[in-house]
Each structure stands twice: as structure tokens, then as C-alpha cells.
Amino acid sequence: MKPNFTLRLRVFNLNCWGIPYLSKHRADRVKRLGDFLNMESFDLALLEEVWSEQDFQYLRQKLLPTYPAAHYFRSGIIGSGLCVFSKHPIQEFTQHVFTLNGYPYMLHAEYNRQKDTYLAHRVAQAWELAQFIHHTSKKADVVLLCGDLNLHPKDLGCRLLKEWTGLHDAYLETRDFKGSEEGCTMVPKNCYVKHQELGPFPLGIRIDYVLYKAVSGLYIFCKTFKTTTGHDPYSGPPFSDHEALMATLCVRHSPPQHNPSPTHGPAESSPLTSVLREAWAEVDQGMAQAHWWATMAGYAVGLGLLLLALLCALAAGGWIREAALLLWTPSVGLVLGAGAFYLFHVQEAKGLCRTRAELQHVLGRAREAQDLGPESQPALLLGQQERERAEEQ
Amino acid sequence: MKPNFTLRLRVFNLNCWGIPYLSKHRADRVKRLGDFLNMESFDLALLEEVWSEQDFQYLRQKLLPTYPAAHYFRSGIIGSGLCVFSKHPIQEFTQHVFTLNGYPYMLHAEYNRQKDTYLAHRVAQAWELAQFIHHTSKKADVVLLCGDLNLHPKDLGCRLLKEWTGLHDAYLETRDFKGSEEGCTMVPKNCYVKHQELGPFPLGIRIDYVLYKAVSGLYIFCKTFKTTTGHDPYSGPPFSDHEALMATLCVRHSPPQHNPSPTHGPAESSPLTSVLREAWAEVDQGMAQAHWWATMAGYAVGLGLLLLALLCALAAGGWIREAALLLWTPSVGLVLGAGAFYLFHVQEAKGLCRTRAELQHVLGRAREAQDLGPESQPALLLGQQERERAEEQ
């Protein structure tokens, strides 16, 4: 980029609510979304919950002239539902699958914010995401994180993510916002939103984000930020049960007075340390719970095996043979079910343990940095070794 | 580092063969390994197959004075078995779990190199590892990859890894090698190595590596490289069924004539393109196979459900009631087993599809670069946009 040049980047984001057979008016919504994206010709369109690969292929064909580059992220059994359309070539893509993804045996929890059983997993995912950004963006020009994070702005996961990565929230940063009240991305005015879904937030919730930062030598700011407001941009029926986000970001060379977001060194600053501590405590509690469930499941496996042995003995002895045979299947079911439950919680505990270890390490280094004072901070591996055994060539 | 300074890095690597109850003389071997590591005082000791966390804790205590920093990598159900001991502080750690990890329903395949059922997974893992290094090391000084890769030097996975990352093989690069013939890391002289394990390689195999590269402004070379030769360094019983690797690496500022390994741009160079094509074909074939297995499993689920319905009808009608009850459990087993098999192969196909898409993207970009010639290469997003809409500030 030339020194005085400003690069303008127009970004679109939407959770498309594209569940085959279940989401209402899917085909029509996808069609209208495609028309809109073609007309607006954004630089980047980032879509979530495009669960059907056919929908992606349909959009790909339709958007090809305006967005020649596209990618659908496949993973797991049902896929990630994520896709990206870009006006510019995609240099590289990669994908990270979270270690912990909730409890497969529970239906997706209604928003119970008093007793969120998923809290430890949400925090672990936020940390994993933050670490992914931290480790992969060191030489980036700009980092952009868009999407439905399933986190409210003040939620621990959201604060952890922002503090650790230094990402800025387009809605909070822009001076030119147009859209729903308080930037909400699920609003009661949207005809696809059930009022129960909003739980204790009858006016709406903000869980979809455009977050950004510049890494080095560059400066980024959000010029305009828009959301839809319960219907599509032409006041027609909405594209989804979520609102669409549209941001215009400007990137330019960093003037000396503008320090770009630091790729933080030791975490000695207070808001970061406090959110790290809070996350540590949450993950620690989740780990204790996972251990408890694993122990209970272990007992249940033992019980099931005992029952099976008893039934075999009864059947062999000729007593209540039919009843024994009838009970055989549920007993096998108990052993298998409890076994799966046990394995699930063991790996959950290991996953949370790993997150806790990483948080602890970061906190430990912050403490060391505080104890030793600022002059200790350049004491990195190379520097230290240099002092230790200086073998001059 | 001062301009003329050379940093010496002494690295130790060993696959410890530490399976509780199964690996012979585990406690004794771990004890002797600890003594050796303390005496030698390496900069880094990297251990694999430390499956018991107690073994890690034992080593941690024992090595604390010499190696104040240590980390044990937890993951999945049985853990990763990986740990690291360092004389220097560990700034950060992170962990990547492979998407594909072989077939849980098969026992670990004997080395059948004519018909390696795991080949597609090995290639996918090698690519994932290469991509992990590629995406996380852009601002690193030096990259070091050590361990048991379960790949021979000429295997597709190994070539892919080296070509895509630009990593150098310490054994091949050093001028001062001492150790087993051809650098083998599993040798018939080792009393823990069963001759069947070596299959068609009676003289030994080389599957453990020390790989390295410098990223920018630095230059790295391997001064000395040693392996043990079937017994421990004091000619006593071996530390493991694998041989230990010991490398002395030297890092210095890159003189102008020494170009550090490039963090490759478009893959227009021929050996890389050809290995990428080979990998693509292998993964593509694996994908077709995964689809085939998923389809078969789908049929088996259908069959099981049909059988269950039939048994219910028979039992309800009062016919051969006992036989129907007896067959109930195996039928449920068939449905559940085939269902699990189906889900496994669906996610396998998705994982391979993802690898194939990444390989295809890289190959596509290489082709574009070739078609357009070298002058097209700086046409990155920012540069392009700059031309497209230059709005001078």
C-alpha cells in the first residue's frame, strides 16, 4: 500500500439459519440473500449455519461473477455450516475444530443464564479461539473475526476473547451505526424469532459480531456499521432469524501516534489478568464436574456388569428365564451407554485440564513479569542463552 | 543475539515406549533416562509415548533442577503421551489434535507397506502437521520438529511434510553423525525390538526425526547428530524400543549469501507440485473408500432395523418367542454398531474431503502462478485492491 492510501473493506456477515427441513422458507431466503449479495458486491461475505451443501453450491453458482472465490468448510459429521465468498482471491484457508463442543446427549440448552451448564465449554472454546488467533496471526496485516459467537458482550467468553487477542468490536467502535437497538442481532421484531428464545432479554440479544485488529504497521477502524432490523434491507421478510451485519472497515498505514493493538507480551495488565483468573476458576469448576460425572458413569458401568452377570446366572439356572432374557437388552444398553458417558467425560476432563494448564501458564508468566519488574521482559530464550554461554565466533 | 554470536541448542528426543503394564522394565528405563538427561543437561528433551502421567510427574521431580520448565500434553481419552522438558522458560505452548487418527475398530496395523490401509490418514496427518507449522511459524525464529513420525524418509507423508514446510532433516544435513547404520531409530540389535515389527526391513527403520529450519534473518545448521545403537549411551540396556536422538544445532544471523528456508509462496517449483499431486490422489482414493464404507454401513443399519421389526412382530404374535428375544440383543447390536461405523466413515470422508480441498487450492494457486508468470506473484489482496479503487486520502 502507498503511504497515504486507505484500503476500504466491506464485510457482510449472517447466521443463515439454514437447517434442511426445519428452517422456514429456506430456499426463498437463500435466493433473496444471493440477490442482495450480488447487488451489494461486498469484499467478503461470511455465512454461518449453511448446513446444506446444496445451498452453498447454489450460492456459489449464483455469486460466481461477483465473488469469484468461495469456500465451504467441511468437518465432523454434520459439517461446520460455515462458508465464505470473496471478491478477491483467497490465498490460503485453514480450519480449527474445537476440542470441546458441549454435551451430545443434551438437547441444545435453552438460554438459561442463571445455570448455564455449557459455561466451562464456552470459556474453553473462547480461549481456544483466542489462542488460534494469537498463534496464527503474528505476521498478519489485519485480523477479522466475524460470526455468531453465541456469547453476549459481557459474557466471560467474549471478554476473554477480546482481552487476549486485542480485537475491537465494530459495533462499539464505529461512529456511524445504523440498525437495531443496542446492535442486537436477534430481535423480537424478526418474525422467525420465538419470544422464548430471547428468554430474559425481551428487547433482543447481541451475539453476532464483527471484530477486527491490525497487527503491525497498520491501523484499522470501522467507518460504518449496519444491522438489518427484523426484515431484509428492502423491508421484505428477513433473511434469517439472526440479523445481518454490514461493516465498512478502513485500513491504512499506522501513523506514529497510532499504536496498533499489541500482540501482548506477559499479561501484567489488570483487566486481562482478572479475566484470565475468572476463566481459570470457571474451567477448574467444569473440570471437577467432569471428573464427578466420569466417576458416576464408572459406577454405572460396574452396576450394569453386575446385573448382566446376575441375569446370566438366572437364565442358566432356569429361573424366570423370560424375564432374564427381557432384561438382557436394557442391561447391555446400560453398560454401553454408561461406558460411552464415561469416555465422554474423561475426554471432557482432559480437554478442560488442557485449557486450565494454558491459562495457568499465562497467569504464571504474568506473575513472574510483575515480580521481576519491566526490565525482565526481554529475557527470552535467545537472549538468556546468549548470556549463559557466549561463545564468540 | 549479537551479530557474530552462534547459539548452540542441544536437543534430545526419544519415543519412550511407556505403556503401563505392557512395556517391559518401564520403571527402570524411566529412572535411567532421568539420570541420563540430568547428566547431559540438554537444552530441550522431547519425549513421546509417556502414556502414564505418573511417569511424567516422576521425571518432572527428578529433572526439576536441570530442566525447570516442563509440560505434559493432555488430550482425548488416553492422552497424547507427549511431554517436554526445557532448561529455559517455556514462553507459550499450544497443542493440535489431528482430525483423522486411523480406525478405532482396527488393532494397530502391522507394518504392511504393500497395502497400508492407513495411507490416506497418514498423508492427511502429514498435511495437517505441515499446515500447522506453516500457519503458526510465520514470525518464529526457528522451527524444530522432533519425534516419531511413523513415516520412513521416502514415504509420501514425510516428503509432503518436508517439501511444504521447508524443514531440514538433521540426519541428512549434519557432517558429524555417530550412531546406528543409516540413522535407523528401530534396530534389530535393540533387545525390545521384535523382528516381526521391522517387517521387510531387517536392518532397521528410520521413523524418528529431528527436523529444523530458520525462518527469517537467521540461519540454522546441525553440527552433530547422534543416535543410540540398540543400548543406552553407557552400553547398558536400552532406554526404549526406539533409539534416542541427540542433535546439536547452531543458530546464527544469516549472512547475506545464506538464504533462510523460504516460507514458500505459490508452489510453482516442481518437486513440491509433484508431491502435492501425489498426496491429492492418495487422499482422493481414501475419500472414495470412506464413502463406500459409509454406504455399506448405511445398508447394514437398514438391515438391522428390518430384522428388529421382524423380531418384534414374531414376539408379539407369540411365535418362537424365546428365539426372538434371544435375537433381540444382537439385532440392536447390529444397528448400533453399524450406526457408529456409518458415523465414523462419514466424518472420515469429511476430514479427507477437507484435506483434498486444501491440497487442490494450493495446486490451483501454483497453476495460476505458472500461467501468469513470476510478475503476478505480488498480486496479493492488498495490492490488488489498491489498484482497484485507489481512493487517495
Closest residue on chain B to A100 (Cα): B76
> What pLDDT, on the 0 to 100 scale, is given for residue B325?
73
Task: For residue B144, give the H/E element and its range.
Answer: strand B142-148
Confidence of residue A240 (pLDDT cuts 50, 70, 90): very high
Q: Three-state SS for A176?
A: coil
In Å, what is the CA distance from A354 to each residue of A347, A366, B195?
A: 10, 19, 38
Q: Does the distance separating the beta carbons of B322 and A89 come in below 8 Å? A: no
**b/e map B276-290, b = 16+ CB within 10 Å:** beebbebbbebbebb
Distance CA B306, CA B43 (A): 63
Tell me how close the Cα of A10 comes to any Cα of chain B, in angstroms. 12
How many C-beta neighbours within 10 Å does residue B385 have?
A: 19
Q: How confident is the model at residue A4 (pLDDT cuts 50, 70, 90)?
A: confident
C-alpha span between A253 and A237 (Å, rounded)? 41
Residue A92 burial (CB count, 10 A): 11
> Taking residues B330-334, what's their average pLDDT?
87
Selection from B177, B197, B184 nearest residue B229 by Cα:
B184
Among A383-387, B14-18, B201-205, where is mean pLDDT lowest?
Answer: A383-387
Q: Are B347 and B245 in contact (CB under 8 A)?
A: no
Task: Put the strands of the sheet holding B142-148 in their side by side order.
Answer: B142-148, B208-214, B168-169
Contact of A360 with chain B, judged by CB distance below 8 Å, is answered with no
Average pLDDT over residues A139-163: 95
Give yes or no for a contact between A345 and A339, defined as CB atoms under 8 angstroms apart: no
* Mean pLDDT, residues A354-376: 82
Q: Do B76 and A6 touch (CB under 8 A)?
A: no
Cβ contacts of A310 within 8 Å, gap of 6 or more:
none
- pLDDT, residue A103, reads 76
**In terms of DSSP bridges, do strands B245-253 and B6-18 run parallel, antiparallel, or are they unpaired?**
antiparallel
Contacts of A382 in chain B (CB under 8 A): 1, 7, 141, 251
pLDDT of residue A366: 85
Q: Which of A139, A369, A92 is nearest to B141 (CA)?
A: A139
Contact B135 A384 (CB under 8 A): no
What is each CA distance from A269 to A204, A213, A361, B47, in whole angstroms? Answer: 33, 19, 16, 35
Average pLDDT, stretch B29-38? 98
Strands (E) located in B182-244: 208-214, 218-227
The percentage of chain A sitting over the pLDDT mark of 90, rounded to a whole number, equals 69
Burial of A245 (0-12, 13-18, 19+ CB in 10 A): buried
Choose the mutation target among B100, B350, B386, B389 for the interface with A, i.e. most A CBs under 10 Å: B350
Interface membership of A390 toward B (CB under 8 Å): yes
Query: Which tens digit of pLDDT belongs to each residue from A52-94?
Result: 999 999 999 999 999 999 999 998 888 899 999 999 999 999 9
pLDDT at residue A114, as a whole number: 67
Q: What's the rounded Cα separation, in Å, for the pair A62 and A59? A: 5
Could you tell me what percentage of chain B is helix, strand and coil, using 3-state DSSP and rounding each to the nearest 5? 45, 20, 35
List CB contacts (< 8 A) between A5 and chain B. Answer: 386, 390-393
Question: What are the helix and strand counts (H, E) for chain A?
Answer: 8, 10
Does B386 sit within 8 Å of A5, measured CB to CB? yes
Q: Rounded mean pLDDT of B249-260?
A: 73
d(CA B17, CA B24): 9
| pLDDT tens track for A265-284 | 444 557 899 999 999 999 99
Average pLDDT over residues A105-133: 81
Mutate to test the interface with B, among A385, A387, A392 (most CBs of B within 10 A): A385
> 3-state SS of B37-52?
HHHHCCCEEEEEEECC
Model confidence band, residue B65 (pLDDT cutoffs 50, 70, 90): very high
Provide the chain B residues 217-246 that lie in CB contact (below 8 A) with chain A: none
pLDDT in tens, A10-38: 999 999 999 999 999 999 999 999 999 99
Contact A97/B at CB under 8 A: yes
Q: Can you give the pLDDT at residue B32?
A: 97
Decide if B361 and A393 are in contact by the 8 Å CB cutoff: no
Is the predicted pLDDT of residue B100 greater than 50, yes or no?
A: yes
Which candidate from B9, B135, B385 shows the least CB-CB separation from A88? B385
Tell me if B286 sits within 8 A of B121, measured CB to CB: yes
Of chain A residues 24-43, which have a CB less than 8 A from chain B?
A: 43
The answer to whether B16 and B30 are in contact (CB under 8 A) is yes
B326 at interface of A, judged by CB pairs closer than 8 A: yes
| Longest Cα separation, chain A | 92
Q: How confident is the model at residue B392 (pLDDT cuts 50, 70, 90)?
A: very low
Query: What's the rounded Cα separation, in Å, for the pair B207 and B198?
Result: 11
User: Taking a C-beta distance cutoff of 8 angstroms, is the pair A100, A348 a contact?
Assistant: yes
- Picking from B183, B148, B137, B144, the residue whose alpha carbon sits closest to that of residue B167 is B144
Report chain B residues whose CB lies below 8 A from the CB of A75. Answer: 99, 347, 350-351, 354
Distance from the B28 Cα atom to the nearest Cα atom in chain A, whole angstroms: 28
Q: What is the pLDDT of residue A79?
A: 87
Report the catalytic residues of B: 242
Distance from CA of B127 to the nearest CA of A (A): 11
The pLDDT mean for chain A works out to 87
Q: Among B249, B259, B261, B260, which residue's Cα sits nearest to residue B163? A: B261
Of B134, B217, B265, B215, the residue nearest A135 (C-alpha): B134
Q: Is the pLDDT of residue B266 over 80?
A: no
Task: Name which of B319, B361, B307, B358 is nearest B124 in CA terms.
Answer: B358
**Residue A242 annotated as catalytic:** yes
Pairing of strands B6-18, B44-50: parallel
- Per-residue pLDDT for A99 more than 90? no
Answer yes or no: is pLDDT of B388 > 50: no
Contact between A158 and A127 under an 8 Å Cβ cutoff? The reply is no
Pairing of strands A6-18, B218-227: unpaired
Q: What is the average per-residue pLDDT within B235-246?
A: 96
Average pLDDT over residues B177-185: 96
Average pLDDT over residues A104-111: 59
Residue of B321, B326, B343 with shortest CB distance to A77: B343
Which of the residue ranges A239-253, A260-274, B2-16, B85-99 would you say has the lowest mean pLDDT? A260-274
Which among B65, B8, B11 has a CA at the least distance from the CA of B34?
B65
What pLDDT is attached to residue A313? 85
Over residues A204-225, the pLDDT tens digits come to: 999 999 999 998 789 999 999 9
Q: Burial letters for A94-105: b for 16+ Cβ neighbours within 10 Å, e otherwise?
A: ebbeebbeebee
Predicted pLDDT of residue A373: 63
**Rounded Cα gap, residues A352 and A120, in angstroms:** 8
Percentage of chain B exceeding pLDDT 90: 69
Overall average pLDDT of the B335-350 stretch: 94
Neighbours of B317 (CB within 10 A): 10
CB-CB contact of A285 with A120 (8 Å): yes
Q: Provide the pLDDT confidence category of residue B373 given band limits of 50, 70 and 90.
A: low
The contacts of residue A82 (CB under 8 Å, 6+ apart) are A46, A47, A48, A50, A72, A73, A147
Question: Average pLDDT over chain B, rounded to whole?
Answer: 87
Of A199-213, B264-278, B282-296, minimum mean pLDDT range: B264-278
Given a contact cutoff of 8 angstroms between Cβ atoms, the answer to whether B119 and B160 are in contact is no
Residue B54 predicted with pLDDT over 80: yes
Residue A324: per-residue pLDDT? 74
Secondary structure element (H or E) that encloses residue B177, with its range: strand B177-178
DSSP letter string, B90-141: ---------S----TTSPPPP--SSS-TTHHHHHHHHHHHHHHHHHH-TT-S
Q: Is residue B204's pLDDT more than 50?
A: yes
